[in-house]
A = this chain, B = another copy of it.
Amino acid sequence: MASTNLLIAHEYSPAGTQLPLAAVLDGLPWNEDGLIAAIAQQYDSGEVLMLAWMNRTALEETLASGRVCYWSRSRRQLWRKGETSGAVQRLIEARFDCDGDALLLRVAQSGGACHTGRASCFYNRIEGPQVSILDSAPHPAHGA
């Protein structure tokens, strides 16, 4: 029984419109694994830090605690970012996109967002026929 996707139903509603979060969550187009893509962006510099995934439980925990919790697709469990490494993400703001299949998390990142210790996961730049590594990992084996 699919609920209405309220974000699509209101895509042309004006600024200031408010929708109940629980009903929005009921109607989100969660993927076949029950997940939504989540982009983490450093709130003050604008740097894009990483892309990860959330299920409804992870999103609700994140909103309740103010610390970002993802769903680890490889470990198939909740991934409380920084729980072992200390590289936590404090949630500043969360936004859904127009059709509700992506989240933008504006965060305050402690330490490096990347499991390699780098500030951002996006350190591999395409330069013509090559990919260049832009930053060195600060230490060889850093927990995520």
Residues of A within 8 A of B (CB): 6-7, 10-22, 24, 37, 39, 41, 45-48, 50-51, 63, 93-102, 104, 114-116, 118, 121-137, 140-141
Asked if residues A97 and B122 are in contact (CB atoms below 8 Å), the reply is yes
Q: Taking the full assembly, how many copies of this chain does it contain? A: 2
Among residues of B, the one whose C-beta sits closest to the C-beta of A98 is B121
Cβ 8 A contact of A131, one of B18, B124, B130: B18
What residues of chain B lie closer than 8 Å to A137, measured between beta carbons? 11-12
Q: A24-B131, A98-B121, A131-B21 are in contact. Are A45 and B48 (CB under 8 A)?
A: no
In the bound complex, CA of A126 to CA of B101 (Å): 14
- CB-defined A-B contacts under 8 Å, sample of 22: A7-B131, A11-B116, A11-B137, A12-B140, A13-B133, A15-B134, A18-B127, A19-B130, A19-B132, A20-B129, A22-B129, A37-B37, A39-B39, A48-B48, A48-B104, A50-B97, A93-B126, A95-B123, A95-B126, A95-B134, A98-B115, A102-B121
